[in-house]
Structure 1
Amino acid sequence: MILSVYHPMGFEVRMPARINILGNPADANEGAHQTISAAVNIWAGLICRPAAEWTLTYLLRTGERAFQPAHSLALPQGRLPDYGSDFDLALAGLRRLLAHSPEFREKFPARPLSLSYWSDVPRQSGLGGSTLMVLNTLVAMVHWYELDRKRHNPYVLAELTQRAEEQELDITCGFADRYVPLFGDIAYLDYRGKLFHQPFQEEPYVTYEKLGHLVDQPPLVAVCSGIPHHSGDIHRPMRARYLEEYRRFQGDYEHAPFLVKVMKAIGDLAWKGKIALLQGELRRFGELMDENHHLVDQMMHYCGYREGAGEANNRLIHAAREAGALGAKLTGAGGGGSVFMLVEPGGEAEMARHLERKLIQFGMTEGHVYIPSLVHQGMVLLDQRE
């Protein structure tokens, strides 16, 4: 939801992180099929205040409601510098919005803002954290300049975010991370028609079907290994190989090239999981998660990743399954980042304690465990009255 109010002290935009529960990476990375994805209660925000000059600042959290500036970038007269700073994602969002919107070009850079970014999403954790900087920037500009809400609706902002990352910064990425934080909830997403990343509005928008009003919150536990990874680096060679095989695809999935066949099977897990989730069949849903992870691990071995989905990820998943998890898989790309587990209702705390012990046993000193809850509304925009 985007509010239309304005307060002279400024405002704050907050975006939740996402997890891909089933079907990834079929979000138009390797294959354009379906996923079940969810917004969860780990947040990144942007505090916007009127200022004499445009300034971008990174904030470090020092307390529950306290931050301190880490470093800043000045934009004299609103001029956007070349890429090469820690603010490239914000700059990419601004450039893509300027290229897209005549209204924004006319209004920017009047009424300068101080843009102060903070994030509780661990870096390179597989939770889509980097994308939140772009999304927060775009929503802030729409709100501050009172841009036409129909021409700058959430679907448009999600599509612009994907293009900001891919076309401005050469980050190989699909669409789940760009839609889920804006729309929120646990949802069934359909990406058909988006495989080739065509120019804006020359392909469909993602179909986003919220399920939160129909299903109970899945009992999930997530664990970040603390091992950094760049999802774009994981997806780049896999997407290139997928597209190469797709060009040889004759339409018969039974006899399709390996990646095309596997990604169709992974995407199909999402619609099967939707049925299981709606019927409250958690054990069946967990089985589908396990199958998703097995296929992704197999696919990554095929694409040359010696450890498949990643040794750390596989060890944590094995430990969770031994402790009774109903299912377990990656939250996003493999190689590092995070995994999550489906457990019996009420078993979240016990599984979390088990995984905390395993992190110590495995020497993953930078890792941590959390119990995610759904964020039904997605993006939040708040007046700053203090």
Structure 2
Amino acid sequence: MSHGIIETTAYARAGLLGNPTDGYFGKTISIIVRNFGARISLYPSPELQIEPQEQDINVYRNIYHLVDSVKLTGYYGGSRLIKAAIKRFCEYAEEQQIRLTSKNFTIRYHSSIPRQVGLAGSSAIITATMRALMEYYQVEIPVEILPTLILSAEMDELGINAGLQDRVAQVYEGCVYMDFNEETMQQQRRGNYERLDPALLPKLYMAYKIDLGKVSGAVFNDVRARFDKGDKEVIKTINEMASLAEAGKEAILKQDEKALHELMNENFDLRCKIMNISDSNKDLIATARRCGASAKFTGSGGSIIGVYKDDEVLNKLVVELKKINARVIKPYIF
């Protein structure tokens, strides 16, 4: 079967409620954000080749350029993500006793997802790669299994610490409610996922720090260790955050904008109880709330999301957040 160029995309995602409980048998609601995406192009070629992008090339203007580059994209660019995705795809095919035809390809990626601001840029590259490979080799991977495979490429292959939420949102798209019940997770290595109609959502804005790649947003957090040790405060707070997602699902279905506004604020306030938050991130949240919008992290920090009432509030958000070097957008979900 002759193939032209296969092009696939996976979009950024924003956690609406419940995050970061996806790694702790919790519940979350997430949306995809079509404003940003990772795009993969794949086409037949004599050898198998991963085309390097700018962040994969080890040539720098000077020592400061190298330092800036490492701060922004780490010690590795995106090629390692693609390698891990190809390896896991191949292993999945072997486990399912699917024989992959021996045809090579060249693969290249392009991502417009802002780095280091908690919008799931890495998993988007892996998700888009998996989609391209599925199309090229004509292999169907069930939608409920695919997020677990993507997560395993990140965690098992690359040691990236992550939960399932991002990958579920990127595979299912739209707005998804996820229940990572411990028993279900242990039995089937995945949670129960339910699509919610994005048309039921109120007006949402997002904002992210433009220069966050250069400012270390990383703050030491020991939540995982405390959770594993059975720390009562951590477990209680995580359970409370998970229950917000449940209440949020009801609020979305009833189109109760006020309830959703309050739940999103509460999500961030609970997070502050058990996690250290950098001043730069606190600033983002406080500024947005002063404008009358709700505000919480979309992921692990650097970008926020919330409900706003009307254009007056939106305009205020744009003006006030610009003062602290943050850009405001309206997320396109469908």
Once the two structures are overlaid, the 10-residue window that deviates more, 348-357 or 309-318, is 348-357
1:147-197 CA distances to partner (integer Å, 9 max, x unpaired)? 2x2xx12222211111111111111111011110111111211111279x7
The verdict on how the C-alpha distance between 1:58 and 1:270 changes in structure 2, with shifts beyond 3 A counting, is same
Residue number among 310, 324, 330 corresponding to 1:371 in the alignment:
330
8 Å Cα contact 1:155/1:205 also seen in 2? yes
Given the two structures, how large is their TM-score scaled by the length of structure 1?
Answer: 0.74
- More helix as a share of residues: 2
Residue number among 249, 252, 266 corresponding to 1:291 in the alignment:
266
- 2:295 alignment counterpart: 328
The verdict on how the C-alpha distance between 1:55 and 1:34 changes in structure 2, with shifts beyond 3 A counting, is same
The verdict on how the C-alpha distance between 1:85 and 1:292 changes in structure 2, with shifts beyond 3 A counting, is closer
Residue 238 (structure 2) pairs with residue 244 (structure 1): no
- 2:149 alignment counterpart: 160
Given the two structures, how large is their TM-score scaled by the length of structure 2?
Answer: 0.85
Unaligned runs of at least 5 residues, structure 1: 1-5, 61-68, 73-83, 247-256, 301-307, 376-386
Residue number among 115, 126, 138 corresponding to 2:118 in the alignment:
126
Q: Aligned partners of 2:239, 2:103: CA distance in 1, in Å?
A: 49
Q: Post-superposition shift, 1:70?
A: 7.0
Residue pairs, 1:141-290, within 5 angstroms:
141-147=133-139, 149=140, 152-193=141-182, 202-212=187-197, 215-224=200-209, 226-228=211-213, 237-245=222-230, 257-290=232-265
What secondary structure is seen at the aligned counterpart in 2 of 1:315?
Answer: helix
The verdict on how the C-alpha distance between 1:194 and 1:71 changes in structure 2, with shifts beyond 3 A counting, is farther
The verdict on how the C-alpha distance between 1:105 and 1:280 changes in structure 2, with shifts beyond 3 A counting, is closer
8 Å Cα contact 1:37/1:176 also seen in 2? yes
The verdict on how the C-alpha distance between 1:314 and 1:351 changes in structure 2, with shifts beyond 3 A counting, is same
Unaligned runs of at least 5 residues, structure 2: 59-74
Q: Aligned partners of 1:348, 1:178: CA distance in 2, in Å?
A: 32
Identity in percent: 26
1:3-24 CA distances to partner (integer Å, 9 max, x unpaired)? xxx7632110001110001100
Q: Aligned partners of 2:313, 2:136: CA distance in 1, in Å?
A: 41
8 Å Cα contact 1:262/1:295 also seen in 2? yes
8 Å Cα contact 1:158/1:179 also seen in 2? yes
* Segments of 4+ moved more than 3 angstroms: 69-72, 103-106, 228-231, 233-237, 345-349
1:8-65 CA distances to partner (integer Å, 9 max, x unpaired)? 32110001110001100011x2x212111101111111011111211112446xxxxx
What secondary structure is seen at the aligned counterpart in 2 of 1:35?
Answer: strand
Residue 70 (structure 2) pairs with residue 95 (structure 1): no
- 1:341 alignment counterpart: 306
Name the amino acid aligned to 1:318. Answer: A
Q: CA RMSD in A?
A: 2.8
- 2:68 alignment counterpart: none
Residue number among 305, 308, 312 corresponding to 2:280 in the alignment:
312
8 Å Cα contact 1:45/1:117 also seen in 2? yes
What secondary structure is seen at the aligned counterpart in 2 of 1:155?
Answer: coil
The count of corresponding residues between Structure 1 and Structure 2 is 314
Residue pairs, 1:42-81, within 5 angstroms:
42-59=36-53, 71=57
Name the amino acid aligned to 1:295. Answer: L
What secondary structure is seen at the aligned counterpart in 2 of 1:107?
Answer: coil
8 Å Cα contact 2:203/2:309 also seen in 1? no
Q: Aligned partners of 2:321, 2:306: CA distance in 1, in Å?
A: 13
8 Å Cα contact 1:221/1:371 also seen in 2? yes
8 Å Cα contact 1:219/1:348 also seen in 2? no
8 Å Cα contact 2:31/2:333 also seen in 1? yes
8 Å Cα contact 1:221/1:342 also seen in 2? no
- 1:14 alignment counterpart: 9
